Chain A
Amino acid sequence: MNSRFINWIWHVRGSLALAPEQSGDDAFERLVPLFRQTGTSHKRTSDSLTFRKIDPAAQDKMSVFDGGVLRIEQGVGGEVLHYNLTSRALLFCFLAPLLFLAFAQLTVLKGKFDKPPAETADKAEALKKAKRESAMLIQNPIDKALGAPAPEKPKKDEKRGGDRKASPKAAYIFAGIFAALYFVGRIWEARLVGSLFRKRLSE
């Protein structure tokens, strides 16, 4: 199978036509400052530039990419810059929903194994529970005078433990968030790097 079918997930490819008067050498000269960043190494030949980034700073404009190749080729209407950049951040974001779906399954599994606490018939326990519930109803006179609502006995489903029941909802929501983040990132970062190169070349 052609790997291009799947590697678009973490590869960003594009091309930019150079201005008629701009040489390939001049184009690389303008782009090279982008690769003089902490953690970035690059190698230049006459028609290509290869770079690699290790732990780039958040302030690095290309921090989302780990490496890539920029190549200048002769096109129909003049010289064209082709780039092929790789991003593990995009790949991990693409896979993150699967991780959160796994967490959701884990939570469901936990719910199946956890048994609700048995209602105790112990008299001492019942007395303690009654004391706890009546203690929760105490209200200071100042709060009463200021109009704060009087405390109520908790309803059965709101009692301690009731709302703590493991729910996979959060994991499903985060799986959705990462799926959305992937599509936003894949489009947004491709556009950003394209406009960054375009700006540098025309400066």
Chain B
Amino acid sequence: MEGVRVGKRIIGGQSPVIVGWENIPKVEGGPVKQFVFTWFQPTILFALIAFWYYAPNSIAKASTAIGIGIGFKVLLLAMEWAFPRHESWRLTWKELTTDLFYVGLGYTVLRLVDDYIGDGVMIESILHQFDWDKFSWFLGLPLLLQAFLIAFIFDFGQYWMHRGMHNWYPLWLTHSVHHYITQLNINKGAVGNPVELFLIGLGIGGFFDFLPRAALLAGAFGMAIGTYQHINVRFNSPRWWRYLFNTTEHHSLHHSQDFEASRSNYSNTFIFIDRMFGTCVDGEAELLGMEGGRRMSIREQMTFPFTEGWKTMKERFGRTTAVPAE
């Protein structure tokens, strides 16, 4: 396999990938389908922004956001079922059940743990020490700018945590599990070792809970952009969208079986952060996973970072067997 040179790297030398937006297939179908799949993403984003901007205080609450989030995911699941991007990524009962198991962990036991050792505790203590007079400049900014800054700061942190996971072995051990998925579906973002899910959740996003409307708007950015990272639906995303925001195309390349391709597109929401630091590659891949596409069972996903870490430790620091001299 020859691959394509992108900067100093050869992308697609180990596994098939498509590099360059002009080479990516378009949505097939009549003008109505073309129109819907071109404007669906921007329409939802701007509708959500307008909703959270103007919703009365009695409605602008976290519970409304959770309800909208669940409804949105159900809609996207229906779209995956009706208009799959790749037949090989089609959601099966086993994949849906596995994905929902991880979603369930996130809503229950991880949240419990987070209350004791996660960012919730850190934020609580920071807020306690906070000098509110010094923060009034931020509180006086226009709402949309506040929301963008909250989303950007959070994504910036996630970018470096994610890049760190691909570059530092102990962190990679926790994240590698997520890279064993062989298809992208709407809930695949939740699949991973709980240690990683805890680490990636660390951030100052929750810090802004005291600004309900700005935090909800920032959440809307995450929902109406970040969710498309793992989706089995093809969109004709407008040029400006794919220049600024992360897309399935970008993220499928990140999950490719090609090692160099997987070391790109680290951001969660704003792909321009990758563009800023030279890690963005525009393109897509269908063949995903690790070790030639081996699927990892839930049991192995739970234990892999520890068993693999132990193996490496033994190799590096273990007693070497003395070889008798002949």
A-side residues, CB < 8 A to B, are 38-39, 55-59, 63-64, 89, 92-93, 96, 100, 103-104, 106-107, 110, 128, 131-132, 135-136, 138, 140, 142-143, 146-149, 151-152, 154, 158, 160, 163-164, 166, 170-171, 174, 177-178, 181, 184-185, 188-189
Contacts and interface: CB of A to CB of B under 8 A. Distances in A.
23 contacts: A38-B292, A39-B295, A58-B95, A58-B182, A58-B183, A63-B94, A103-B112, A106-B109, A128-B130, A132-B127, A135-B132, A136-B211, A142-B142, A148-B213, A149-B56, A151-B212, A164-B115, A170-B104, A181-B100, A185-B93, A185-B97, A188-B93, A189-B93
Interface stretch (B28-36, B133-141, B275-283): B133-141
B53 A148 contact: yes
Nearest to B62: A163
A100 to B, nearest CB: 6
A174 B104 contact: yes
B101 interface: yes
A158 to B, nearest CB: 7
A140 B210 CA distance: 16
Contacts of A140: 140-143
Given A38-B293, A132-B132, A185-B97, A58 B92 contact: yes
A59 B56 CA distance: 47
A151 B213 CA distance: 8
B61 interface: yes
Nearest to B144: A143
A125 B29 CA distance: 63
Given A39-B294, A58-B295, A59-B182, 19 more contacts: A57-B182, A57-B295, A58-B92, A58-B181, A59-B88, A63-B92, A89-B94, A100-B108, A140-B143, A148-B143, A152-B57, A164-B115, A170-B108, A171-B104, A171-B108, A177-B100, A178-B97, A184-B93, A189-B93
Interface string B46-63: 000000011111001111
B317 interface: no
Contact of A55 (B101, B107, B120, B297): B297
Contacts of B111: 170
A190 to B, nearest CB: 11
A88 B186 CA distance: 24
**Chain A interface main SS type:** helix
**Chain B interface main SS type:** helix
Contact of B108 (A103, A132, A160): A103
A164 to B, nearest CB: 7
Given A106-B109, A174-B104, A181-B100, A138 B139 contact: yes
Contacts of A189: 93
Name which of B92, B142, B212, B213 has the most chain A CB atoms within 10 A of its CB: B92
A63 B96 CA distance: 13
Nearest to A129: B132
B120 A177 contact: no
Nearest to A88: B297
Contacts of B298: 92
A111 to B, nearest CB: 10
Contacts of A138: 136, 139-140
B308 interface: no
B54 A149 contact: yes
Nearest to A96: B101
Nearest to B293: A57
